[in-house]
Amino acid sequence: MSNTERTYIMVKPDGVQRGLVGEIIQRFERRGFKMIALKMVWPTTELLEKHYADLKNRPFFPNLIKYMASGPVVAIVLEGRDAVATGRVMLGETDPLKSAPGTIRGDLCLQVGRNICHGSDSVQNAEKEIALWFPEGIVKYTLATENWIFE
């Protein structure tokens, strides 16, 4: 199957506290993505500063790190067709108020500083984020439904 990509998806601390982990994972599973890594982690500020290194000079950066370090997150790697761009579409816009209904942010949250879920914005960043959050590596297995999802 062409265009197979991996993306890094993360349920943020507010998503975990609000009991939305299952809902978020379910949306990606039902779409047909293959989950190849999953764990709960309470991230250190050091890890988060690496993850969000591109945003270091933005005014919201200190609050973003505080928010993301405020509780455990659920780290997920998904594989599938156009996983990076499709993951972003399913997430919605960064600002939940600008996110269409039907998207994760458009359905489940209201404020940019509490937008419940992260998704990689490019294949290159996805590779970087997967290496950062899963240095132990990723499970390899065949998804039995693959021939029912792709022709």
d(CA 102, CA 57) in angstroms, rounded, equals: 32
Annotated active-site residue in 91, 118, 119, 129? 118
Report the distance separating Cα 73 and Cα 88, nearest Å.
Answer: 18
The residues that touch Mg ion, with contacts defined as CB under 5 A, are: 121
User: How far apart are the C-alpha atoms of 137 and 139, rounded to whole Å?
Assistant: 7
Q: Is 118 a catalytic residue?
A: yes
Whether 147 has a binding-site annotation, put simply, is: no
Nearer to ligand UDP, 110 or 139 (CB): 110
Any known ligand binding at 105?
A: yes
Determine which residue in the list 35, 38, 85, 112 makes contact with ligand UDP, applying CB under 6 A. Answer: 112
Which range, of 3-11, 40-48, 109-117, 129-137, touches ligand UDP by CB under 6 A? 109-117
The two structure tokens encoding residue 64: 């973003």
Selected binder of ligand UDP within 66, 98, 113, 122 (CB under 6 A): 113
Q: How far is the CB of 149 from Mg ion (least distance, A)?
A: 27
**Kind of pairing between the strands at 117-119 and 73-81:** unpaired
Residue 66 within binding range of ligand UDP, rule CB under 6 A: no
Strand order in the sheet with 34-41: 34-41, 73-81, 4-11, 117-119
116, exposed or middle or buried, with CB in 10 Å at 0-12, 13-18, 19+? Answer: buried
Annotated binding site for ATP: 12, 60, 88, 94, 105, 115
- Indicate which residues carry an active-site annotation: 118
Annotated binding site: 12, 60, 88, 94, 105, 115
